[in-house]
Structure 1
Amino acid sequence: MKKREFKISFFLHVWEKKAEEISLEEFHNDLRGARWKVLAESYRRWMRTGMTEEGKRLKGALNAVVVAGKCRGGHAANQVTELNGLALFDFDHCLEMLAGMKEKAGALPYVVGAFVSISGEGLKLIVRIDAENAGQYAVAYPVVARELERVLGHPCDMSCRDLGRACYASYDPEAYYNPGAGVFPWREQVDGLLQAEGECSEPSVGKACPAGVAPEAGDGFMQAFLNDFDARNPFVAGGRHAFVLKLGRVARYKGFSPEEMRLLQKAVVEKYAQADFGSGEIEKTLSSGYQYVSARRADAMTTDLGPKVQGPFYGMPEEEEEEDLEDILFGKSEGFRRSAPYFPDEVFEHLPALLAEGVRVAGSPRERDMLLAAMIVNISACLPEVRLLYDQMYYSPHLYYMVIAHAGGGKGVVGLAGMLPAEIHKFYEKQNDEVRLVYDKAFFEWELEQKKAQAEKRSPDFALRPREPLRKLLMLSPNVSKSLIISALEESGKLGCCINATELDMVSGAIRNECGKHDDVFRAAFQHEVVSADFKVNGRQVVARHPRLALCLAGTPNQLVRFIPSLENGLYSRFLIYTGQSAWEWRSAAPRAGCEDHRAVFARLSARLLELHQFLLQSPTEVTFTPGQWAEHTLRFASHLSEVVNERDDSPGAIVLRHGLMASRIACVLTALRKGECAWAMPEYACSDEDFHTAMLMTDVLLEHSLLLSTCMQKSESKPKPLKPYFRLRPVLQVLSGTFTFTQVVDKAVEMGIPKTTAKRLFRKTVELKLVVKEGDVYRKTTRSWGAGIP
């Protein structure tokens, strides 16, 4: 048989919308080679040892292919535009039979390829079926599957019959490949099989059936489906509703059509109806299960994610397999993190010298961004007597910042920034020790005076009683209790405090303790609002009237929802947020000639920051902005706020409002560093246009990150939801230029996956907010950027 070159669709990840065309031979060479070896072996080892969460994340990052043909976009069935005559067949949970099944498959004349699946416990077969359209493919697939089951002695996963079925990359050094394989004679067998099974009528062979689903499922198939489900999930008294509800969910997971659901309802009623569990109740419960999964999957279906990649015989999903779509969505979340915008290079071209020297140690652009923001936040806690007037209220530069990424995402670099306040902290600790020594001596004299007065039978001279000194602490432990943090804020006064934590659990653990619960202190301190507490020992009320606090934290998505359980909490909007995932690339750990130890670099920078701190103590500074800068600030954040409010009625507008203040605080930090560089002791120091622009560019990106991460927050559950793009209408308007009509907007929105009614509602709101203006019969965007400056 003459060898044929087959072309298949390659996806970087299962949620990718852009497919690359590669040859089947190239795919098999990679299966045998080292490309996916480490990932596949790691996944198999982790799943064997119970590290399922790590395994799922790794699996979501794997490459995938669609074997059936060429995809124009995602791997949904309707995206397969050109068939190549191949079909993928999957045999799960056959570890003990795997070698024998693979040998039998290699002997079949129509098998083009055979290889071990990513789990290491299943077998994937690629067969030539020579189907000319989706209808023929749908008819041919069960015929071929039944013959393979007979030959191999193991059930085939029929959920793989979908044209767009994605197959994860794997590793099999002994993968079988026969490009000269013949065509399976399915047309010769179809008549007898269909008459026996009742799966499809003969005329449907030439019709275009929906991909992966025969036009009419007969009683034979439905009874087999129901019997298999019953074997796995016994129908028992007390669990009837749960049984039927799960059956509906399983039917939806496997893509049953309305006609197939009608047949399933009929079969369930005939088999399970009872006097107190009639047909009406069965049909209602079955429909509820079907619709529940439909709603849960709505986002995935509208973005053409397609069906799940794995599934057991006749669609009997086990518990872990019901999470496959969620795995895909969480994998898509990682895609959003990877594609989250970076700070523009322009930001790094004109930084103050201290910042420019610090960010040089970063090993990647993502780490550089994380480190720059962390340095600014730590420095914000080290600028005494610096203030700015914002909305007719004075604020210090103190900022809150949080980096959210999975383990190994590069967020550990923010720990270096936490070294910056160290020398200043030592400076005040030394002062504390000196003052304490003076106090101890005075207290000793006071005790002597008391004893002497008692001996002389007179009152002691209370003028000699010393007042216990205040202890100034710049750096606080992340697990500090609520009463101690209020006490530290009171005693530190205008100096303020700083908390660094490379693991959010350090802070959230203290918050959840009985002695903690101080997230309200964090919220109040952000805007210098009064916080207070009563000490039980002496009854004294501790009051921090103008608390100043800086927070620099890092953690994982799961740690985030334990720290801030809800957007309604108000703490989330007070943070500058950066989320991202660095590329999984090994970086050499070998010493680099001429490079200084990173900790030594930041120890030196900490000493320079102490010099700046002491200078500012002697030169109080009010940072000012020009009228032009205030005009730009107003225009920019008014535009941001309109966009956010336009997208969602329950939009977190507070995020935008507080980013306006935080942008000014970033500019304030940059300006204070400039003042220190030139050592000009002026009471007012104007922010340069250069530094103001840098602060605005950084805030634009940080706002995008915050809005993106806000989509995974929910009210009370401890597990975050998958990320999804925050903006819906903005991408539509970004691709339209000049003038456009209402119909063009709606059509473009529908093309980009937005429901028609939603598109109309959002656009009308856009016009109301004057983000778009109407000129006669056409519309035109205003001068607002619609995110054009975001990379």
Structure 2
Amino acid sequence: MSKQKFNLGEWRRDTTLTPRDEVEIVISRIETASLDLTSTYNDWRDLGFALAQGLGEEGRTFYHRLSRFYSGYQSAETDKQYTACLHSRGHGITLNTFFHQAKLAGVDINTRPLPNCHIATLPKAKDVAISPVAGADRTPPGDDFPTFPDEIYASMPRLLSDVCSYGISAEDTDMLLLGALTVLSSCLTQISGIYGQRQVYPNLYLFVGAQASAGKGRLTLCRHLVDVVHADLRRQNVREWEEYRREKSLYEKSKRKEGGDEPCQPPVRMLFIPANSSATALFQTLNDNEGQALMFETEGDTLTTTFRSEHGNYSDGLRKAFHHETIAYNRRKDREYVEISMPRLSVLLSGTPRQIGALIPDAENGLFSRFLFYSLPLRPVWNDVFACNGEDTLDSCFLRLGGRFFQFYLRLKKTAPLRFTLTATQQVEFNRFFNSMQQQGLQCFGSDMLASVRRLGLTAYRICMVFSSLRLMDYEGDTPLPATLCCRDDDFHTTLLMMEVLLHHTGLAYEGLQADTKSAPRRATVAEGDQRERRLLQLFEGLPESFNRAGYQNVARTEGIPARTADRYIIELCNQGRLQKLDHDAYGKTGK
């Protein structure tokens, strides 16, 4: 190690951070660059001395993170070396040695303060307005797509930092981060907090919009982060069904002689719920998995098509699940009434800008305000398709990251539920930030965006929860997890910085819906003689407040409307929000 004097005057630090936080920031940069600072024994030893002197036992995790880039890294040997450093005295090396070595390796060691997040800003509506081209998806200029500032990647949980290291552009890195947060949120159901005096879990809803070939397909990499969780649930379910079939066979053979109770069918365990499920199948699967699930669909029109089918419109279920509200339904088998008291559903969708409008007709639809939106530009850049053309694929890299998360997932399942909280100072700043953001949203877009801004607050709280949860992955071995999970200041400010950008992208999606509405052909009114509209209105006005299929078919026959046409009208009225499907073969008017 060089004995060159460390010039403290050139070291610009954030004095509000703890030494541990500063080390975390710098090590995250080392990991992003995949630098080995331990190539010689002396450097490796002195890094151990530095971390042991400055952080004590807490530095052991950091020592492993630095050592793993050495080709001969061994976990047991690293543990032994760090223990020796802890027991050593009088070596004269301080924590400054770590920063000095990082600087010599070309790493930025300055821990500059994050920008002031007290005042949210958002461009005026005219700056994000989208001018549609008839018959084509909209592609606003690239400048209309803000990306997350570099500051948010300076100090992230290690798993997310590793995920983001595979980004090939600013937009792609942002998308991988949001995708990872969303899929991982579906598996953190041991952690909850209190928001608006209600218990909430980390679950997120995300829609990534982009034209074909813009790169949204890379979202499938994020699915690998929880593929192992899904596979484990399926393996467990296979064993349960094998046991059930064995017990069922024994029961069938012996019931005439010995009687006894028939064995109960096991639930269908899985993490991923297909978007093309019927409403009943979706709720059944959600109930079988104790309210926990992830809907991951890279083609948004799959869900749109499902919503347009008679038995597939579960938009109301998605809206309820976002707030963990009770979902009730009737099982066809045994005519059983089922209630899912605390659904914890995460949703990740992607599609073209037009598919957003097809899925969510307008901003007044409650589904719009529950989603995070992020739009990708279509850039005329050809990426090197043979870069890093080795045997190790991106899929295998993300599966390994998923394997790391799975170990944490198993550990989390064995612990008692954890309670998440913001500090008193963070709560004051949170309220001030979103009050300012709400005023910006009202000024730029009017009251239609009010619900989106308010739910962005809940989403921000949930993102803080995910960040804080993933910090627990750095706890070594069997170290007990804390009963209360308090958000770190860097994770809190990172989330607020993200919210400013995400509000802008929500504005883009909102303007897109407005443009679609204005460019859509105007419907002929009843007064202009539109027979179809007149017949639909006649059917609607003839319906009672609640009815079933037989009931609306009776009204249709009275009005001279064919049976299949009446079926289509009922689906259309449900999609318009004028009717709602209360249960299987049960409908009611909404009062709209």
Decide: shared fold, TM above 0.5. Answer: yes
Residues 342 and 639 of structure 1, relative CA distance in 2, 3 Å threshold = same
Give the one of 168, 188, 204 matched to 1:399.
204
1:622 aligns with 2:427: no
What are the within-5 Å matches in structure 2 for residues 648-663 of structure 1?
648-663=445-460
What are the within-5 Å matches in structure 2 for residues 12-31 of structure 1?
none
1: distance between equivalents of 2:280 and 2:349? 21
Shift of 1:330: 8.2
Higher mean Cα deviation, 366-375 or 594-603? 594-603
Give the one of 144, 153, 164 matched to 1:339.
144
**Alignment deviations for residues 177-211 of structure 1 (CA, whole Å, 9 cap, x no partner):** xxxxxxxxxxxxxxxxxxxxxxxxxxxxxxxxxxx
2: distance between equivalents of 1:354 and 1:474? 20
SS across alignment from 1:662 = helix
Whether the 8 Å CA contact 1:558–1:718 is kept in 2: the answer is no
1:631 counterpart residue number: 428
1:674 counterpart residue number: 471
Residues 718 and 357 of structure 1, relative CA distance in 2, 3 Å threshold = farther
Residues 534 and 429 of structure 1, relative CA distance in 2, 3 Å threshold = same
**Alignment deviations for residues 529-557 of structure 1 (CA, whole Å, 9 cap, x no partner):** 11122233421123211111111111001
SS across alignment from 2:232 = helix
Shift of 1:580: 2.6
Percent identity (aligned): 29
1: distance between equivalents of 2:293 and 2:144? 34
Report the TM-score, using the length of structure 2 for normalisation.
0.62
- Which letter does structure 2 place at the counterpart of 1:525? A
2:408 counterpart residue number: 612
Give the one of 474, 492, 495 matched to 1:695.
495
SS across alignment from 2:512 = coil
What are the within-5 Å matches in structure 2 for residues 326-725 of structure 1?
327=133, 334-336=139-141, 338-453=143-258, 460-462=259-261, 465-493=262-290, 496-592=292-388, 596-619=392-415, 620-679=417-476, 680-714=480-514
**Alignment deviations for residues 516-537 of structure 1 (CA, whole Å, 9 cap, x no partner):** 0011111110000111222334
Whether the 8 Å CA contact 2:420–2:486 is kept in 1: the answer is yes
SS across alignment from 1:409 = coil
1:91 counterpart residue number: none
Q: Which runs of 5+ in 1 are unaligned?
A: 1-301, 306-324, 454-459, 722-791
2:64 counterpart residue number: none
What are the within-5 Å matches in structure 2 for residues 57-136 of structure 1?
none
Residues 482 and 673 of structure 1, relative CA distance in 2, 3 Å threshold = same
Residues 659 and 566 of structure 1, relative CA distance in 2, 3 Å threshold = same
- Which letter does structure 1 place at the counterpart of 2:165? R
State the number of aligned residues.
392
Whether the 8 Å CA contact 1:503–1:554 is kept in 2: the answer is yes
Residues 326 and 664 of structure 1, relative CA distance in 2, 3 Å threshold = closer
Residues 597 and 461 of structure 1, relative CA distance in 2, 3 Å threshold = closer
2: distance between equivalents of 1:701 and 1:595? 37
**Alignment deviations for residues 344-387 of structure 1 (CA, whole Å, 9 cap, x no partner):** 10111111111111122221111111111001100101113111
2: distance between equivalents of 1:329 and 1:515? 30
RCO higher in 1 or 2 (8 Å CA, sep ≥ 6)?
Answer: 2
SS across alignment from 1:551 = strand
SS across alignment from 2:208 = strand
SS across alignment from 1:475 = coil
2: distance between equivalents of 1:367 and 1:326? 24
Whether the 8 Å CA contact 1:474–1:498 is kept in 2: the answer is yes
Residues 561 and 467 of structure 1, relative CA distance in 2, 3 Å threshold = same
Whether the 8 Å CA contact 1:566–1:713 is kept in 2: the answer is yes
2: distance between equivalents of 1:601 and 1:378? 16
2: distance between equivalents of 1:328 and 1:439? 57
Shift of 1:513: 1.2
SS across alignment from 1:426 = helix
1: distance between equivalents of 2:516 and 2:147? 31
2: distance between equivalents of 1:706 and 1:492? 31
2: distance between equivalents of 1:507 and 1:719? 23
Residues 659 and 720 of structure 1, relative CA distance in 2, 3 Å threshold = farther
Whether the 8 Å CA contact 2:139–2:211 is kept in 1: the answer is no
1: distance between equivalents of 2:498 and 2:233? 32
- Which letter does structure 1 place at the counterpart of 2:379? A
Shift of 1:573: 0.6
Residues 503 and 549 of structure 1, relative CA distance in 2, 3 Å threshold = same
**Alignment deviations for residues 623-647 of structure 1 (CA, whole Å, 9 cap, x no partner):** 1110011111100000111122233
- Which letter does structure 2 place at the counterpart of 1:477? P
Q: Which runs of 5+ in 2 are unaligned?
A: 1-125, 522-592
Whether the 8 Å CA contact 1:487–1:543 is kept in 2: the answer is no
1:729 counterpart residue number: none
- Which letter does structure 1 place at the counterpart of 2:268? R
1: distance between equivalents of 2:362 and 2:516? 6
What are the within-5 Å matches in structure 2 for residues 254-293 of structure 1?
none
Shift of 1:657: 0.5
SS across alignment from 1:334 = coil
Residues 399 and 525 of structure 1, relative CA distance in 2, 3 Å threshold = same
**Alignment deviations for residues 428-449 of structure 1 (CA, whole Å, 9 cap, x no partner):** 1111112222222222232233
Q: Which protein shows a greater Rg?
A: 1
Residues 412 and 631 of structure 1, relative CA distance in 2, 3 Å threshold = same
Whether the 8 Å CA contact 1:403–1:411 is kept in 2: the answer is yes
2: distance between equivalents of 1:618 and 1:718? 54
Whether the 8 Å CA contact 1:421–1:475 is kept in 2: the answer is no
Whether the 8 Å CA contact 1:566–1:715 is kept in 2: the answer is no
Whether the 8 Å CA contact 2:211–2:378 is kept in 1: the answer is no
Q: Which runs of 4+ in 1 moved over 4 A?
A: 328-331, 714-721
Shift of 1:622: 1.4
State the Cα RMSD in Å. Answer: 2.7
Residues 712 and 613 of structure 1, relative CA distance in 2, 3 Å threshold = same
Residues 377 and 663 of structure 1, relative CA distance in 2, 3 Å threshold = same
Shift of 1:719: 6.5
Whether the 8 Å CA contact 2:307–2:314 is kept in 1: the answer is yes
Shift of 1:649: 4.0
- Which letter does structure 1 place at the counterpart of 2:509? L
- Which letter does structure 1 place at the counterpart of 2:277? V
SS across alignment from 2:225 = coil
Whether the 8 Å CA contact 1:402–1:576 is kept in 2: the answer is yes
